């Protein structure tokens, strides 16, 4: 299925290139047909497929680390109930994204569990290879999360000072609830 999708993407890119500009092709949370969402393996696969970029989600942990994760509650993806914003990075490192996930109309078996990663690690892996669309998960009712955007901006500033990437290769969004 994914090989067919990759071929289709290349065909569409070829057709559009002949006409000039083309739309950018992004992986939503990586490549969830092959790897669990928001995982390093999924982002690495997006690079291998030649995608232009990926969309990912970030939360700020209790100890102020930016983790790449979609849900506020960890249960759907890890089997362990808890709010990711109320956990420390050390606690999150003990969790794994399950090998098999219910994705709505089917259960996907990915072959092995995956670790939750820090945004900084994803930026290091994707630097110069993918555009990164960062969705900031700071729900309006969670007052403790009001600094998530600032933390993302500070990380980007730190990387820009190191000349590790161009901020023009990042797109930011915020989830309002």
The structural domains of the chain, ordered by start, are 26-175 (3.20.20.190)
pLDDT for 99 equals: 96
Residue 106 scores a pLDDT above 60 = yes
pLDDT for 173 equals: 47
Residue 123 scores a pLDDT above 60 = yes
- Decide: helix, strand or coil at residue 134: strand
| Catalytic, out of 17, 28, 35, 147 | 28
pLDDT for 120 equals: 94
pLDDT for 167 equals: 42
Which residues 6+ apart lie within 8 Å of 112 measured at CB?
99
**38-42, 63-67, 128-132, 141-145: which range is least confident on average?**
141-145
Residue 131, beta-bridge partner list: 53
28 catalytic? Reply is: yes
- Residues 168 and 159: their CA atoms lie apart, in Å, by 12
Element (H, E) at 57: strand 53-60
pLDDT for 141 equals: 59
Q: Give the model confidence (pLDDT) of 15-57 as tens digits.
A: 444 445 678 889 999 999 999 999 999 999 999 999 999 999 9
Which has the higher per-residue pLDDT, 146 or 74? 74
What percent of the chain lies above the pLDDT cut of 90?
51
pLDDT for 145 equals: 67
Residue from 138, 147, 144 nearest 173 by CA: 138
147 catalytic? Reply is: no
Residue 62 scores a pLDDT above 60 = yes
pLDDT for 7 equals: 52
Model confidence, pTM: 0.79
């Amino acid at each position: 299925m994914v090989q067919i999708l990759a071929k289709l993407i290349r065909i569409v890119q070829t057709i559009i290139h002949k006409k000039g500009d083309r739309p950018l092709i992004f992986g939503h949370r990586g490549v969830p047909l092959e790897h669990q969402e928001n995982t390093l393996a999924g982002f690495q696969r997006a690079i291998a497929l030649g995608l232009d970029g990926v969309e990912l989600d970030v939360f700020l942990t209790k100890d102020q680390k930016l983790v790449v994760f979609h849900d506020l509650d960890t249960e759907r993806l890890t089997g362990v109930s808890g709010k990711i914003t109320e956990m420390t990075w050390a606690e999150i490192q003990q969790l794994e994204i399950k090998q098999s996930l219910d994705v709505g109309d089917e259960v996907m078996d990915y072959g092995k569990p995956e670790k939750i990663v820090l945004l900084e690690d994803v930026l290091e892996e994707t630097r110069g290879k993918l555009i990164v669309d960062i969705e900031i998960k700071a729900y309006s009712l969670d007052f403790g999360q009001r600094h998530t955007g600032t933390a993302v901006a500070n990380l980007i500033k730190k990387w820009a000072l190191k000349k590790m990437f161009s901020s023009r290769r990042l797109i930011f969004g915020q989830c309002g609830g």
